Amino acid sequence: MSNVTEQDITNTLPKTTVENPVIDIRQLKKSFGSQEILKDITLQLGSGENLVVMGKSGSGKSVLIKCLVGLLTPDSGSITILEQDVTGLQRKELNQLRQKIGFLFQSGALYDSMTVKQNIEFPLRRIKKGLTEKEITEKVQEVLENVDLVDALNKMPSALSGGMRKRISLARTIVVDPLIMLYDEPTTGLDPVTSDEISALIMDVQKKYKTSSIIITHDIKCALHTANRMIMLKDGTVFKEGKPEEFKQSTDEYIQSFSFQ
Ligand SMILES: Nc1ncnc2c1ncn2[C@@H]1O[C@H](COP(=O)(O)OP(=O)(O)OP(=O)(O)O)[C@@H](O)[C@H]1O
């Protein structure tokens, strides 16, 4: 057989079936004007799984995440998160669902006028109402220990390095015990050593907090370190889905262009 691409192969195989997925996306479509960004996306996130989503710049990774959390409305298809149909939710229900989802954005987005302690307490006081001051202090201490930055408690974000800010952002996200984590380019802009530390932390969070995560990344090292399963988007569809090993061993020209080896 000549000219067989990974897509030809993938299309003839059943996609991984995930039992009781925490996220279930079916035949998702999203266009902007005449530009079809997501043409037909079907994917599931299993409980406790780290799913890495890759794809070239502009392949629609951020659009996918925005559809997931209701920031964009898909043209068609369905998105079910924790057994709730996202597209059918009212604003209040959507906000309640969002509280179970932690985001780690590329920018980190800490409040610059607040100390690390205040930054971490902020979502805790807003979402986990009814905690005592002692419980809040303990919870802040616990997450800072988990990201190995207890000493930063009273520092201002401006006094922290990029890697430290990322760790504090992660602490602030996990402090409210999210069931699902969405990581958007978690290692972008960090040096290789710090990137490795963040990848290790993503693994720690998976283990300690039993989170199910979608990790969007261009960073092959981070992808191979953190993924239980990977998905490659291309032309608005899932081009390839499989274990990290399958991506490493792929002979497909497009997959190889990402330098997995
Ligand atoms: N609100 C919008 N209105 C119009 N076009 C949009 C909108 N949001 C995204 N797009 C377009 O959709 C395409 C995919 O964008 P998206 O940000 O999802 O790519 P990406 O895969 O996340 O890229 P990167 O890796 O560079 O972050 C781009 O062509 C972008 O211009």
Q: What is the DSSP string of 177-223?
A: --SEEEEESTTTTS-HHHHHHHHHHHHHHHHHH--EEEEE-S-HHHH
Give me the chain's average pLDDT, please.
90
Domain assignment present for 120: yes
pLDDT tens across 137-158, in order?
999 999 999 999 999 999 999 9
Domain extent, residue 64, equals: 23-257
Per-residue confidence (pLDDT) for residue 187, from 0 to 100: 92
Residue identifier of the C-alpha nearest atom 30 of ligand 1? 58
Residues facing residue 216 across a β-bridge: 53, 184
Whether residue 33 has its Cβ less than 6 Å from ligand 1? no
ipTM at complex level: 0.97
Q: 5 lies in a domain?
A: no
The answer on pLDDT for 8 being more than 90 is no
Asked if residue 57 has its Cβ within 6 Å of ligand 1, the reply is: yes
Which residues pair with residue 104 across a beta bridge?
183
| Secondary structure of residue 146 in the 3-state scheme | helix
Residue 66 Cα to ligand 1 midpoint, Å, equals 10
DSSP state of 148: T
Strand 101-104 with 180-184, pairing: parallel
User: What's the gap in Å between 103 CA and the centre of ligand 1?
Assistant: 18
Assess whether the C-beta atom of 60 lies below 6 angstroms from ligand 1.
yes
Region 78-96: mean pLDDT is 91
Return the CATH number at 87. Answer: 3.40.50.300
**Confidence band for 70, pLDDT divided at 50, 70 and 90:** confident
Q: What is the pLDDT of residue 97?
A: 93
CA dist 120 to 53, 160, 169, 176, Å? 28, 15, 8, 9
How much is the pTM?
Answer: 0.90
pLDDT confidence bin for 12, thresholds 50/70/90: very low
Atom 4, ligand 1: residue with shortest CA distance? 32
Model pLDDT, residue 15: 61
Domain-located, residue 58 = yes
pLDDT of the residue at 189: 86
Which of 63, 64, 105 has most ligand 1 atoms within 8 Å of CB, for mutation? 63
Domain total of the chain: 1
**DSSP for residue 157:** G
| Residue 17 covered by a domain | no
pLDDT of residue 14: 45
Per-residue pLDDT, averaged over 181-208, amounts to: 92
Tell me, what's the pLDDT at 16? Answer: 66
Determine the atom of ligand 1 nearest the C-alpha atom of 218.
Answer: 25
Residue 123 has pLDDT above 50, yes or no: yes
Residue 8 lies in a domain: no
Residue in the structure block whose two tokens are 């969070």 = 205
Task: Specify the ligand 1 atom closest to the Cα of 33.
Answer: 4
Identify whether 12 is part of a domain. no
Mean pLDDT computed over 30-55: 95
Residue 66 CA: nearest ligand 1 atom is 18
Q: Is 50 within a domain? A: yes
* Residue 107's pLDDT band (cuts 50, 70, 90): low
What pLDDT sits at residue 214? Answer: 97
CA–centroid distance, 226 to ligand 1, in Å, is 24
Looking at the domain assignment, is residue 119 inside a domain?
A: yes
Element (H, E) at 91: helix 91-98
**Minimum-distance ligand 1 atom for the alpha carbon of 58:** 19
Smallest CA-to-CA distance from 225 within 183, 180, 189, 170 is with 183
At residue 13, the pLDDT reads 45
Closest-lying ligand 1 atom to the alpha carbon of residue 72: 1
